[in-house]
Structure 1
Amino acid sequence: MKRLLLFLLISNLAFSQSVEIRLVNPMVGAPSCNYFFNDWMCNTTNDAGLNAIFSTYGVQYFKVKGGHPYYNNTTIMALSGNYPPQFVAELSAYSSVVASAKFWDPNTFSDVLFLSLANASIGTFTGTNNNIVVTNDANLNQIFQTYNVIQYGLYVASVSDTVYTLTCDCDVALLKAALQNYPNVVDEVDFFHAAFLSNQQFEQTKAIIAPNPFSDNFSIETEQPISNYSIIDITGKTIAATSSKSELDNQSSRLSAGIYILNLLFDNGQTANYKLVKK
């Protein structure tokens, strides 16, 4: 059976009852501190109400999850610790700021799966019906309808693999089980790993990357000179590293469609990471 390369290099921390929070507005409730790649250092946000809840339940640190294929403009945080059910209930009740809150693995998203098709021509996207994804396979459509699948995007298309990401408004573990029980169409299914990004680029942008998503190449506008460019794939592997923008263009044009992290090292010694999407 074909295996999906879904593992991301992450920090070796243990979690007992990690909580995932998705914000309504990425700028309200966002981290108010600076943090660095794979370092858990934040415990406060820019929203007083959310800070009060965090303080009540002793939140010590959290981190932003990057790379969500559907909610890519929304802040999603993983909170480490051992929390009671009341914590999630109180977060959920704070609906003006918190879109969703649930206990979940800090390294994956609670509503996203990778899906590899057994046959590249069966199970392909054809549209939506009442915001639910429709494919060219009736049985897969029934599963998507039952579990409210709202996003289904091609992630990798190659001779050996046709892989989609899908997002649901559901218990994603139940959806995963349902898909695994449909081997005629579904070759393999697994959880989607998050890419932990550095300082919230939505608040402290050092560079403007356009177009993004891109088809061939992209431009980078910044006030600071850049000394090195790196592109990291979803597995955490550095697949391009150069000090030349022209060489970066050459390598980025060869990338497969998917989600990447662009790491920039500036002449002043600072670094920044940006989500990069190849169409």
Structure 2
Amino acid sequence: MKKLLLLLLIANFAFAQPGIEIRLVNANIGTANYSWNGFNYISMNSSNDAGLNAIFSTYNVTEGYENNEVHPYPPYFAKIKIIRGTYPAQMIADLQAYSTVVASAKITNNYEFSDALRMQLVDLNIGSPVGTSGNIIVTNDAGLNTIFLDFNVFYYVQSYPSSSVNSTLRYYTAVCDCDKNLLNTALLNYSSVVERTEIVNGGVMLSNPQFEKTKALISPNPFSDNFNIETEQTITNYTIVDITGKTIISTSSKSELDNQTSQLSNGMYILTLDFENGQKANYKLVKK
């Protein structure tokens, strides 16, 4: 049974909504419970672990406890969860104290990973990884090495290695043992090597035999005006819906899509691509 990266649209979701990111010790202990209402998967605000549920009950978790599984660092895959809403600092302390189940607990926004960034290099040949030193990534640029050492960057790979486009090949994904917002500031200040940075979002993996794996690369994302779509498949239609499920754009023309996306308000959207072979794929888009 194949897996689909299904980005859940929930009616009360607000852009830039705060939450707590939890990384589990074991992906199978503390995972989120969902129910199917005939249209969508709905968070049941609970996990499969009684101790974690007791903490949720203490702090009245009602806005959603959700899987946020697709972390770029493979050992973290399926271990990241999100508690949506605002809670006191003591809740984070209680979660961290439950160390047999919770490896870490941090404040985050929406489905943004607290420890990951995507960055685009100015030059493909400057800033590429060459090895590690004490588990910290070493590149061929001394300035970038200093930043990586300061922020404990332990994972750094090309985001789209199969691309044949220079601008896309210059994207790298970095994961740190740090606050990614501080790392982001340091990278943006190093503008001679780093052209831009992007947040990295997750999603929910649900079993569904009707869907194939992702067929396209979308970049940049978040985007300002337009974005590129790289795929080996022929796209027959582009549809964009907002977070309420309202269709904003539906067109068979990429140039028309570009025209209309440049006029979109800042926020989060879902792009659905229809392919010539009859299949579809969904992607979360963020316009900034």
Pairing partner for 1:173 from 162, 175, 181: 181
Name the structure 2 match of 1:237.
271
Q: CA deviation at 1:237?
A: 3.5
Q: CA deviation at 1:73?
A: 3.0
SS at match of 2:68: strand
SS at match of 1:27: coil
Name the structure 2 match of 1:116.
120
Whole-Å Cα distance in 1 between the matches of residues 136 and 36 of structure 2?
37
Instruction: Give yes or no for the alignment of 1:42 onto 2:25.
Output: no
Name the structure 1 match of 2:235.
none
Whole-Å Cα distance in 2 between the matches of residues 128 and 110 of structure 1?
22
Whole-Å Cα distance in 1 between the matches of residues 192 and 9 of structure 2?
34
Instruction: Give yes or no for the alignment of 1:197 onto 2:204.
Output: yes
Whole-Å Cα distance in 2 between the matches of residues 38 and 186 of structure 1?
40
SS at match of 2:214: strand
More strand by share: 2
Whole-Å Cα distance in 2 between the matches of residues 149 and 18 of structure 1?
24
- Give the 5 Å matches for 1:215-254: 229=212, 231=214, 236-239=270-273, 241=275
Whole-Å Cα distance in 2 between the matches of residues 35 and 113 of structure 1?
32
Name the structure 2 match of 1:275.
none
Structure 1 runs (4+) greater than 6 angstroms displaced: none
Amino acid at match of 2:25: V
Whole-Å Cα distance in 1 between the matches of residues 106 and 210 of structure 2?
41
SS at match of 1:18: strand
Which region of structure 1 is more displaced relative to structure 2, 78-87 or 116-125?
78-87
Q: For structure 1, list consecutive stretches of 5 or more residues without a partner in the other structure.
A: 1-7, 207-225, 249-260, 264-279
CA-based RMSD: 3.0
Q: CA deviation at 1:231?
A: 3.2
CA 1:55–1:174 in 2, change beyond 3 Å: closer, same or farther?
A: same
Name the structure 1 match of 2:166.
159
Instruction: Give yes or no for the alignment of 1:68 onto 2:71.
Output: yes
Q: For structure 2, list consecutive stretches of 5 or more residues without a partner in the other structure.
A: 1-6, 222-269, 283-288
Q: CA deviation at 1:190?
A: 1.9
**What is the aligned-residue identity percentage?**
40
CA 1:20–1:111 in 2, change beyond 3 Å: closer, same or farther?
A: same
SS at match of 1:187: strand
Whole-Å Cα distance in 1 between the matches of residues 182 and 49 of structure 2?
33
Name the structure 1 match of 2:85.
81
CA 1:123–1:228 in 2, change beyond 3 Å: closer, same or farther?
A: closer
